[in-house]
Structure 1
Amino acid sequence: MQAQEENTTAIVSKRTYITKPLATSKVPVINGIIDEVEWDIVKWSGDFIERQPDENTPPSQQTKFKIIYDQNFLYVAYRCYDTEPDLIEKRLSRRDGFAGDRITLVLDTYHDKRTAFSFTITAAGVKGDEFVSQNGDNWDPSWNPIWYAASRIDAEGWTAEIKIPLSQLKFGKSKEQIWGLQISRLFFRKDERSAWQRIPADAPGYISEFGELHGLLDIKPQKQLEIQPFTVTQYDTYPEEEGNPFREGQEFKLNGGLDAKIGITNDLTLDLTVNPDFGQVEADPAQIALDGFQIFFEEQRPFFVENKNIFDYQFANGSDNLFYSRRIGRNPQGIAGASPINDSGPLNEEFIDAPANTVILGAAKFSGKTKNGWSVGILESVTSREIAKIEDANGHRREAVVEPLTNYFVSRIQKDFNERNTFIGGIFTATSRDLGDAYNIDYENPDTDETSELTEVRENNLNFLRKSAYTGGIDFRHNWKDRKFFVEGNMVASHVEGSKEAITKTQELLTHLFQRVDASHLTVDPNRTSLTGTGGKITGGKSGGGNWRYEGGVFWRSPELELNDIGFLRRADEIKQFVNLRYQFLKPTKWFRRANFGVEEVSTFDFEGNYNRIEYEFNGYVNYKNNWWTEIGAGHKPRIFINAALRGGPRFRFSEENFAYLFFGSDSRKKFRFTVGYVNSLAKQNNFSFERYVVRLNYQPFDAFSMSIDPEFRKNLDKTQYVTEADFNGTPKYITGNIDQQTLSASIRLNYNVNPNLTIQYYGQPFISRGVYSDFNFVNNATAKNLKERITLYDANQISFADDEYAIDENRDGEVDYTIDTPDFAFVQFRSNLVVRWEYIPGSEIFLVWSQGITGDGNTSDHLFRSLNNQIFGQQPENTFLIKATYRFVL
């Protein structure tokens, strides 16, 4: 390893490029041909250095560029030399596809050494743009500014020109602007990256190491004003249900809305949306969570994705965050099926028309970063009161409120200090619900126009919801020794208020489980109307310099912490400690291009002091000389206790676990490439086992067309999968069973690019999951190390099955003590989107969308492919056809 250490960071001088303003009103024509005299006012800059795979060596092909400007635009010209121009990869893709040979301009216009704007142009003329944050650790392609680009291939290689409106960039007032600058090129057929400013392989970050752009004199900040109205025409078809007035087989909708972007100052922007439409957004992947916890889905809606880095407050590990924008516009939480009764008894069978999502009436977002280091974000959104329509077989109608009128507010602030090496920030969120009367008890007979008073089953259909929720936090990060070392942390607090029913339910949620029978530090208080909790983290380590990286820290979440009104929290009542160590090879060898390996230790406790888990893991990655790669890992969990496994029962022990995974893939440059992976987990005494098989196939037969399919198969066997809780003579019985769960899914994508601005994309995902239970048992000693002491199997004289129900005679006296509904399941789903997207002028688009969905219950006795055939190919699907048109006015 000594040879590796000798290649660690030396002092790297910062390069400077000096631009000049255009002297006349004549400007370059953006056509990819660099022949205008306007470019002659500045000199070419080049001397790029290789960054990957062999850092600090001459690249295979050189690159040079020029930058000029006027009061409205920044212009950049590139010359990318290539001694074999016939081999230049001109792969077409949708915007932000980043395929083939390409060159990227990255500008740190705030010069904060943490954030930047990225503009990429490919040899095929496809644009890509990203907002970069976290010193290069986060690249967000959802940022879609208006800019112009063109490229050409000639005898010397290829050239490109770009024109960026200064209104799309953010910078403060100054006589001379000094921006961070980096230009990098991907020489595709060798998968070689070169850069204008050298960044050593062991550098502690990316943006902090940029060179500088000088010479931007007397440019005035551009106040941005953009208005983008849209219209949507939608036609739905679905299977008609006889007698159901809400399922007549088809439906037509016409909708419209408005998005706007207003530059309050050059670096602070107000985004507005009225009645936003997200119809072209790809459907979420199907998942089943047997552990009962909520599933995290990535945000895909453009309004919330843009500038999301400013609002992000990931306070602990994983997906825990004080702001989870998917809460806004969520599925209605109320249940519309609770029928009122009249004097003659329950009403007839009812048909329900419940909204699938909550309408966002409007939202505003004020965000940006000032020149002196203030980062600001404020978001305000109002969602509508959603009503389900209910009608019985006699035509009597009523309504039920399934989601109240709700206001969401988020504010975020950070301030840079210490030459951008330190920041301190804070966040505050508020959720307010107008619960009001959740049931409309007027009962209308359409034949007589008479109404009669009815008695409600529940006093308030939404009384289980919290009335208000508030969260706040402070965070910081400090870097020293040229950013090679860091310490960061945060603290959060939450306060929720509501009725006794709402707060009691909150205490009993899987996130909290105050009713856990063996938890001496927790108890359900049915009279409480509020909860207050805290959480946070403190971590530190080495992020740059030399071959070694290390980090350690502690996270915590108190039992009463509750974030799920506008944030995301899976589990409270936990303290987690972790340490990891990683070694990076900084120079390629004769058999690999890049490689690293690491080890990690994690342990967890709850606030009662219970030592719940410890695990160790080794992992490594190698990218070979032929550009194939391998990722490998293995671990051991000698101690596993889970507080939530029995849903309020005692903390439950699982047997020791060993796991391992192996993934490898072929050269990503090739027309055909693949990834194959296998994951295996196995516990002692066969308590549980898990296998995952992954195949990813990608094929691009010609530049304009690509296709991929990612099939995946999972097999989960668990002898102690929770089933239910039963009462046996006043004693709770926690019942588990041996589950055999098999899941098959595949993501299918087809992409055809007519040109960089006109694309056709297809996405489809079949998903089948079947779970069959056997060997039912009850928990005997939840914390016993031996599985046979932990559970007791029912014998043949204690359990019988009939009519989808298990009858349990636990004491064998011939009488049924309790019953269990069969937990077997077979879930089948198919979702697909076909989208034609045409950006007819920069920033303005037309979408033609066909979405299709099928969801059904399969037969648990069928194998997976038979369920696929019967429940997907043999069923009538639900279809949505829509046309969405937008026009972006830039004023």
Structure 2
Amino acid sequence: MTKILSTLVLLLLFTTVHAQGVDKSFTVKHSSDKIVPDGILDEPIWEMAESAGDFQQYFPADDVLAEYQTDIRMVTDETTLYVGIKVYSPGKDYVIPSLERDFRAGGNDNISILFDTFNDGTNAFLFGINPYGVRREALISGGGGNNSGFTTSWDVKWKGDSKIYDGYYTAEMAIPLTSFKFAEGETKWRFQSYRFDVQINENSVWYPVPQNQSIFSLAFMGDMVFEKSLGKSRTPLTIIPYANLLSDRDFSSDQGETALKVGGDAKIAIGNGMNLDITVNPDFSNVEVDNIFTNLTRFEVSLPERRQFFVDNNDLFGDFGGGRDANPFFSRRIGIATDSAGNSVENDIIGGIRLSGKINDGLRLGLLNIQTGEDLDREIVSNNNMMLALQQKVFSRSNIGFFFINRETFGDDDFSLPEDRYNRVVGIDYNLSSKDDVWQGKFYGHKSFQPGDKVGNYSLGANLGRNTRFWSVFGDVVLVDEDFTSDLGFIRRKDIFKSALSVNRLFWPASGPINNHGIQLFSVVTWRPTLDFQRTDHDINLSYDFEMKNLSQFGLGYSNSFVFLNNPFDPTSTEGAIKLPGNQNYNFNTVNFSYRSNRANVFAYEGNSSIGSFFNGSRFSAEGEFTLRIQPKVRLSLNVNYDKISLPDPFPSADLWLVSPRVGITFSKSVFWSTLIQYSNQRDNLGINSRLQWRFAPLSDLFIVYNDNYAVNLFEPKFRSINLKLTYWLNI
């Protein structure tokens, strides 16, 4: 183990990185002229502003100019960055699925612009707009190498609109400089823009990006040079109060209440690079409900964070360790507790603070402190949850991070056990990201401390990947000690040594309907150190995938799985069923097929199906998603997941269904209604979540949220609630 880790560390530290070899920049003019962002480029200053230059095609090719070009120009005054955009197109048949803000960019017409304000290739601000003037904003972290660093939950005030003409559309953005964080006196930012044109299935970028890399990778950016250097950011104090009138009923206990809850958040800028967020009695009733899933494994599944308070600079806190196996901080743990019956329940958050951002060009700081409440009836203690994180940039786009986590119990209740008094975790990570994004890697070492348990308790890991046009290779090793504990983390399992290897070979045909196709071998093997490194699991997957020029995709795959069950297990989760015996080996094989149509189609669909053996029986699975677009007002979708598990007697067999229809209606750019129904017989639940949102002022909303849950086996109500929530964003 030590030799493997040492070798990977040396590779991470001494990998040679190469310059991109592309020099692209433009000047942002300074003007005292005021621009009304109505989407019409009729102000004289736009004729004087410098064009950013041509766009390069990203798809279906990445070595030619875009067939339909985009012209971007920018100017600033003392308070605002203005962006003027002219987007040429083959016609007016634009695909606009919705008028709701923060739309998903894939499968519709839109353009996005990215600003790396600290020129570090690690974090960026994104703003987007479509031909109908619908806006979106996002934060990009971790260098933008994959979707995990793309956060659309971030909100900030800015203005923008669009105007459609014959053969093109125009857009204007007015983004307050206070919406960004940057160094005082800055003279340039790194810049990128990407555009989706679904009328001809073309994706294009301002700065060239190889197709094997993410279209929003921060490794591929040019420069926007300010004619006048930027001054001090004067971000106003922001107060966001809320009032929530809630009525609910728990039918299992035949109890309900109607109550008025008030609280709010505050955002305070500290210098040009730091944010201080304060929350008092927060309420997350308006947050979009999680999608439920069928779980046939022995392990917990992580779900993304959607709560606004935890979003800004979230990578500073949440990107330590291995996201799948050993993440020491998982913010969704805060506000969740275990009651006296062993159930996971929501726990009130009294309040907290969150300080995060840049101290200087190379150093980032994150400090979070949240206090949760006590619930004597359910035997839940009050906890203080704290994390300190520091991240120092090294080389071109790499960094070294340090963290300290402390979860500590308050009070002296009889049900508070001494061994649960506190949990502390300390660790260090090195994150490699080469200048051209070809090399990616990580090395980390973490240690936990509990009362009377300070020896061992390690979590160690290292991974290294190389991604080029034709080959992609990735290796990963993880060691989690049996006593390593992070109460605020996501640790799927302990006492493991895991090794993973992925090799992918891509082919790029010179002509024909196929854009690329490739074969991938992916294997994961897990051993138990305390059982003399006995092999307990392996998965070996071989797949062949095709991406077509019409943006459809399909693939075939084969997998071989091995499981050594230490303890009895029922994959169907059937109440009272006889479990598969533990201390026994199981080996099974599966074949699968997947297909996805072009998401821009009026009726789009995707699905996958697999069949094969499963433990000591068999399994057939089929999953599909179907979407109908009645643009731009209505979007209908249906998700269906079916698993037929057949096990020999006396073990349980099951037909597991998960059916999730969704209706989204956007009455205007400020009034949205969505309803999600989720039926799962594995969870014995039929859930209905209906949410009406009226954005009556910038980032200020009125929500009506209705939730209803039924047991499906007996079809009787379980829990019902309705919320009327008002939030208001006030700048002082």
Instruction: Tell me whether the two structures share a fold, i.e. TM-score over 0.5.
Output: yes
Contact kept, 8 Å, 1:593 with 1:624, in 2: the verdict is: yes
Q: Deviations over 1:718-775 (max 9, x none)?
A: 459xxxxxxxxxxxxxxxx512122111121111111222211111101112xxxxxx
Tell me what 2:670 maps to: 757
Amino acid corresponding to residue 678 of structure 2 in structure 1 = Q
Tell me what 1:413 maps to: 390
Matches within 5 A, 1:714-863: 714-719=643-648, 737-769=650-682, 827-855=683-711, 858=713
Identity of aligned residues (%): 22
Q: Deviations over 1:607-653 (max 9, x none)?
A: 1222334432112321223332103321223x532334579999723
RMSD between aligned residues:
2.7
Contact kept, 8 Å, 1:680 with 1:692, in 2: the verdict is: yes
1:231 maps to 2:243: yes
Tell me what 2:29 maps to: 20
Instruction: Give the superposition deviation at 1:355.
Output: 11
**Alignment equivalent of 1:162, drawn from 154, 166, 173:** 173
Matches within 5 A, 1:418-457: 418=395, 420-434=396-410, 436-437=412-413
Contact kept, 8 Å, 2:397 with 2:435, in 1: the verdict is: no
Distance 1:16 1:219 in 2: 17
Distance 1:10 1:575 in 2: 36
Distance 2:426 2:160 in 1: 43
Amino acid corresponding to residue 721 of structure 2 in structure 1 = T
Instruction: Give the superposition deviation at 1:529.
Output: 6.1
Distance 1:165 1:28 in 2: 12
Change (3 A) 1:312 1:719: farther
Amino acid corresponding to residue 850 of structure 1 in structure 2 = Y
1:551 maps to 2:474: yes
Q: Does the residue aligned with 1:39 lie in a helix, a strand or coil?
A: helix
Q: Does the residue aligned with 1:190 lie in a helix, a strand or coil?
A: coil
Amino acid corresponding to residue 834 of structure 1 in structure 2 = S
Contact kept, 8 Å, 2:95 with 2:600, in 1: the verdict is: no
Change (3 A) 1:719 1:616: same
Matches within 5 A, 1:209-224: 209-224=220-235
Amino acid corresponding to residue 53 of structure 2 in structure 1 = G
Tell me what 1:484 maps to: 438
Distance 2:206 2:298 in 1: 51
Amino acid corresponding to residue 680 of structure 1 in structure 2 = I
Contact kept, 8 Å, 2:51 with 2:72, in 1: the verdict is: yes
Q: Deviations over 1:24-69 (max 9, x none)?
A: 2x31111010001232331333321111111122323111011001
Contact kept, 8 Å, 1:184 with 1:193, in 2: the verdict is: yes
Tell me what 2:59 maps to: 52
Q: Does the residue aligned with 1:189 lie in a helix, a strand or coil?
A: coil
Instruction: Give the superposition deviation at 1:12.
Output: 4.3
Tell me what 1:706 maps to: 635
Matches within 5 A, 1:598-609: 598-607=520-529, 608-609=532-533
Contact kept, 8 Å, 1:764 with 1:830, in 2: the verdict is: yes
Instruction: Give the superposition deviation at 1:574.
Output: 0.7
Change (3 A) 1:333 1:144: same
Tell me what 1:811 maps to: none
Q: Deviations over 1:398-443 (max 9, x none)?
A: xxx521111000111111112x243111111000012512xxxxxx
Change (3 A) 1:471 1:263: same
Q: Does the residue aligned with 2:684 lie in a helix, a strand or coil?
A: strand
Tell me what 2:729 maps to: 888
Q: Does the residue aligned with 1:627 lie in a helix, a strand or coil?
A: coil
1:201 maps to 2:240: no
Matches within 5 A, 1:236-635: 236-237=248-249, 239=251, 247=254, 250-286=256-292, 293-316=299-322, 318=324, 320-335=326-341, 356-388=345-377, 402-418=379-395, 420-434=396-410, 436-437=412-413, 460-463=414-417, 466-479=420-433, 482-497=436-451, 532-544=456-468, 546-563=469-486, 565-586=487-508, 589-607=511-529, 608-635=532-559
Change (3 A) 1:62 1:887: same
Q: Does the residue aligned with 2:160 lie in a helix, a strand or coil?
A: strand
Contact kept, 8 Å, 2:350 with 2:372, in 1: the verdict is: yes
Query: 5+ unaligned residues in a row in structure 2: which ranges?
Result: 1-17, 571-578
Q: Does the residue aligned with 2:219 lie in a helix, a strand or coil?
A: helix
Contact kept, 8 Å, 1:374 with 1:416, in 2: the verdict is: yes
Q: Deviations over 1:794-825 (max 9, x none)?
A: xxxxxxxxxxxxxxxxxxxxxxxxxxxxxxxx
Contact kept, 8 Å, 1:699 with 1:707, in 2: the verdict is: yes
Contact kept, 8 Å, 2:95 with 2:631, in 1: the verdict is: no
Q: Which has the higher contact order (CA 8 A, sep 6+)?
A: 2
Contact kept, 8 Å, 1:109 with 1:116, in 2: the verdict is: yes
Distance 2:512 2:42 in 1: 43
Of 468-477 and 614-623, more deviation after overlay is shown by 614-623
Distance 1:182 1:332 in 2: 46
Distance 1:281 1:10 in 2: 43
1:666 maps to 2:597: yes
Distance 2:636 2:38 in 1: 30
Distance 1:19 1:435 in 2: 57
Distance 2:244 2:258 in 1: 11
Contact kept, 8 Å, 1:54 with 1:587, in 2: the verdict is: no
Q: Deviations over 1:678-707 (max 9, x none)?
A: 123415xx7132322112110012321111
Contact kept, 8 Å, 2:353 with 2:369, in 1: the verdict is: yes
Query: 5+ unaligned residues in a row in structure 1: which ranges?
Result: 1-8, 337-353, 389-400, 438-459, 498-527, 721-736, 770-826, 859-869
Change (3 A) 1:63 1:313: closer
Change (3 A) 1:697 1:646: closer
Contact kept, 8 Å, 1:316 with 1:556, in 2: the verdict is: no
Amino acid corresponding to residue 217 of structure 1 in structure 2 = K
**Alignment equivalent of 1:124, drawn from 132, 138, 146:** 132
Distance 2:554 2:68 in 1: 28
Distance 1:670 1:363 in 2: 45
1:93 maps to 2:17: no
Bigger CA radius of gyration: 1
Change (3 A) 1:556 1:645: farther
1:68 maps to 2:75: yes
Contact kept, 8 Å, 1:835 with 1:847, in 2: the verdict is: yes
Contact kept, 8 Å, 1:92 with 1:124, in 2: the verdict is: no
Change (3 A) 1:533 1:214: same
Distance 2:290 2:60 in 1: 36
Tell me what 1:810 maps to: none
Distance 1:482 1:234 in 2: 51
Amino acid corresponding to residue 308 of structure 1 in structure 2 = N
Distance 2:131 2:638 in 1: 26
Instruction: Give the superposition deviation at 1:83.
Output: 3.9
Contact kept, 8 Å, 1:322 with 1:471, in 2: the verdict is: yes
TM-score for the superposition, normalised by structure 1: 0.74
Distance 1:264 1:551 in 2: 40
Of 207-216 and 295-304, more deviation after overlay is shown by 295-304
Count of residue pairs brought into register by the alignment: 698
Instruction: Give the superposition deviation at 1:335.
Output: 3.7
Q: Does the residue aligned with 2:420 lie in a helix, a strand or coil?
A: coil
Instruction: Give the superposition deviation at 1:837.
Output: 1.1
Contact kept, 8 Å, 1:471 with 1:492, in 2: the verdict is: yes
